[in-house]
Amino acid sequence: MRSGVSKTALMGAVILVLIIALGAVIVSKPSETVTMTTTVTTTLTKTVTKTAEVQKTETPTQTQAKKAKVLVLFDVGGRGDLSFNDMAWLGAERAKKELGVEVSYLTPKSLADMKPTLEQLASEGKYDLLVLVGFLWTSPLDEVADKYPNQKFALIDSTTGKVRDNEVDILFKEQEVASLIGIIAAGMSYELGSDNIGALVGMDIPPLWRFQVGYYFGAKYFEKKMGKPVKVTWTITGTFTDPAVGKQYTEQMLKQGVRVVYGLAGATHLGAFTAVKEWEEQHKEKAFAIGQDASQEWIDPMHIPISGRKRVDVAVYTAIEMVIKGTWKGGIIALGLKEGGVGIATLEEVRWFAEEAYKNGKLKDMTPDDVVKTVEKLREKYIKPEIWNLVKELEQKIKNGEIEFKSPMSVQERDQIIKEIEAGNLDAALSKGSTS
């Protein structure tokens, strides 16, 4: 009798547990449903496309402690751009590993979706930090941030121009990287038999003013130290999205004697890459282009020996770290050489981007090893040791805080600085220190 009761009770308990478990599964079914296409990252090297609100990535071993939740919002290009979005992903993945955060990703379907998407996410309050990648998020953030003071936002490579307790804008010190590139461009140009270096620019806007000040400064720093005159040709295209226009303007510069062209025009300067390649094919005379923001050597390693970098990955990691370590403070941050926010693409970075291009089917007729070896040989041949010494000398002065660059606040101020640099007064570009 007693034994029978125990079995019946046991059977009833099992059935009850099954009913409760089934109910838990039904209740806990994900209900987040923002209609947009995103990419779910399953490993560091493979992605699969699914339709979902967010792509969540977890570390293999989960802890019981509640993790901080971060959502990275790409611009409309999404992952796979081998530029800003991919670098943002890289920084977030590093934060996931090193800081133990839960990271999710989202790509809006269109520009029109950006504001309503941001407003919905901010109103839900599910994330400790929303990271917004690129200037396209500037207006949506400016319209949403004040409505949700408890939601933290980090805007990368742009600023709303307003200081808010819940908003951090992370910019870059473009002058610093451009000054190093100016030295290298001048040195390479002389190796190619020219004293004329060029830059292909997208639009006449503040970040490009900073690039211009740095590039001219670096060229004239080379001139002062090496005793060799350098002419700088600065060409503004008016667009970031037209490679055909970039090719046309670059061809004009090449005809004027420019042999090294610095690409500062987004997709437009892809046309510069084509132009320098065709120049060599048609004229049997070598010319080079220099990439910017991401490592772009993989696009044409025979004609792009070096790139300047904006370390978006460092910016994203920095923003997440501020939340995790409790050092969050609203305002504008500028990352330079000292902070690792800008720099010259290392061979390791060249390899990483070449491998990503290879995985995405964008690297044609070469392996990542081929890219690295080709770039390494070009750098050894056309960037002489004395040029690297100049670069290191200036880089050290910047990192040590011996010199700091001005950030021109108007076209007029930019023009005056450039005029004085061209006249030999390099210190006109500096807010601190001297080259004397």
Q: CATH class for domain 174-309+343-432?
A: alpha beta
Q: Tokens 């990192």 appear where? A: 399
* Sign of the dihedral defined by the CA atoms of residues 243, 248, 250, 254, in that order: positive
Radius of gyration of the chain (CA): 26
pLDDT at 80: 81
Q: Which one-letter DSSP state was computed for residue 164?
A: B
Residue 217 DSSP code: H
Distance between CA atoms of 141 and 147, rounded to whole angstroms? 10
What helix, strand, coil percent values describe the chain, rounded to 5? 50, 20, 35
Distance CA 154, CA 330 (A): 9
| Amino acid at the residue 139 | S
Distances (CA, A) of 399 to 72, 86, 266, 335, 342: 30, 27, 27, 11, 11
Fold adopted by 37-172 = Rossmann fold (3.40.50)
Domains 37-172 and 174-309+343-432 belong to one CATH topology: yes
Q: What is the pLDDT of residue 367?
A: 97
Q: Domain spans of the chain?
A: 37-172, 174-309+343-432
Residue ranges for the chain with pLDDT beneath 50: 1-53, 55-64
pLDDT 10s digits, 329-351: 999 999 999 999 999 999 999 99
Nearest to 271 by CA among 261, 281, 280: 261
Kindly state the tokens that stand for 157.
């490579």
Q: By the 8 A CB rule, do 336 and 172 touch?
A: yes
Torsions phi, psi for 25 (to 5 deg): -65, -45
For 394-423, write each residue's pLDDT tens digit.
Answer: 999 999 999 999 999 999 999 999 999 999
Predicted pLDDT of residue 35: 33
Q: Please, which residues bridge with residue 129 across strands?
A: 70
What's the pLDDT at 186?
98
Amino acid at 92: A
